[in-house]
Structure 1
């Protein structure tokens, strides 16, 4: 497993939110990053956590974090573990009074919960090799993109998105 950080968030040309996971300690050049497309609600939750903001009422991930706290459980780590037919899979590892528990989860939910609980995020080496892209392919300026402009761009997306855009 490779420890990663949430390097950035963006909106692709189709208006879909994307998180970019980057190895914390890159071992090779060029550095490979992992883009994962996520839903609007998950993206909103992650963005709020990045900004250190809280909603007036608990969001789902705030509720999950609070429930874990009440149950004396902590998130040890989250990990993107595999990729099957274009779908990423993840696991949340919990420290509980009954020992270590591993829970199957979507990467977007795992990342949102990790951001709320300040937990480590990992990616399987095989997933990073299979689905990762060289950081240089993200385009000029993305590598060191200004967080404020990313947040502003994402807020604009959230303000203009139409829920009908996501209906099947």
Structure 2
């Protein structure tokens, strides 16, 4: 499993919402994203959670989080576990008073819940290998220049430069 974050929510050329999941610490895959097409309501719910927007009434995913809290359960993590015939599958791992439970979920609902609960999001390596695409939000030339600039900075920096 590779830990990811929601890099962006975009709308494709047909008007469909796409959630882009980007690896966090995997340098070999830093320029890749997993695009998952989701519904408009789920996209809105994820965006509200990511942007930490206060809503006057709870969304369905807020209700899920509140229901879990009311029975002393917590979302530990969510995982996009597989891709079959164009359909993504996910699981929510819960910590409950009666032990750890794994629950089948759509990736959009799992990510929306994780975004509210502060839980980590993971993608199976096989899913990233099969569905990963170059990150459209990163300009390869700009990224390469940034790395080169940072290397030059490291080559030229002197610890004395940081003394007050």
Settle same-fold status: TM greater than 0.5. yes
Corresponding residue for 1:100? 100
Higher relative contact order (CA 8 A, sep 6+): 1
Which consecutive aligned stretches of 4+ in structure 1 deviate over 6 angstroms post-superposition?
none
2:109 corresponds to 1:143:
no
Q: What does residue range 35-74 of structure 1 map to in structure 2 within 5 Å?
A: 35-74=35-74
Which stretches in structure 1 are left out of the alignment for 5+ residues? 145-168
Q: Max radius of gyration: which structure? A: 2
- Structure 1 contact 30–134 (Cα < 8 Å) conserved: no
Taking the aligned partners of 1:32 and 1:70, their CA distance within structure 2 comes to 38
Deviation of 1:30 after TM superposition, in Å, equals 6.5
Corresponding residue for 1:26? 26
- Structure 2 contact 31–138 (Cα < 8 Å) conserved: no
Taking the aligned partners of 1:49 and 1:17, their CA distance within structure 2 comes to 16
Which stretches in structure 2 are left out of the alignment for 5+ residues? 140-164
How many residues were matched structurally?
139
Corresponding residue for 1:76? 76
Corresponding residue for 1:15? 15
Taking the aligned partners of 2:116 and 2:93, their CA distance within structure 1 comes to 15
Indicate the SS of the match to 1:56: coil
Indicate the SS of the match to 1:52: coil
Residues 22-69 of structure 1 show CA distances to partners (whole Å, capped at 9, x for unaligned) of 100124156321011100000010111111112211110000000111
Taking the aligned partners of 1:40 and 1:30, their CA distance within structure 2 comes to 27
- Structure 2 contact 23–29 (Cα < 8 Å) conserved: no
Indicate the SS of the match to 1:49: helix
- Structure 2 contact 80–90 (Cα < 8 Å) conserved: yes
Normalised to the residue count of structure 1, the TM-score between the two structures is 0.79
Corresponding residue for 1:149? none
Q: 1:31 to 1:15 in 2, by over 3 A?
A: same
CA RMSD between the two structures: 1.3
Taking the aligned partners of 1:88 and 1:121, their CA distance within structure 2 comes to 14
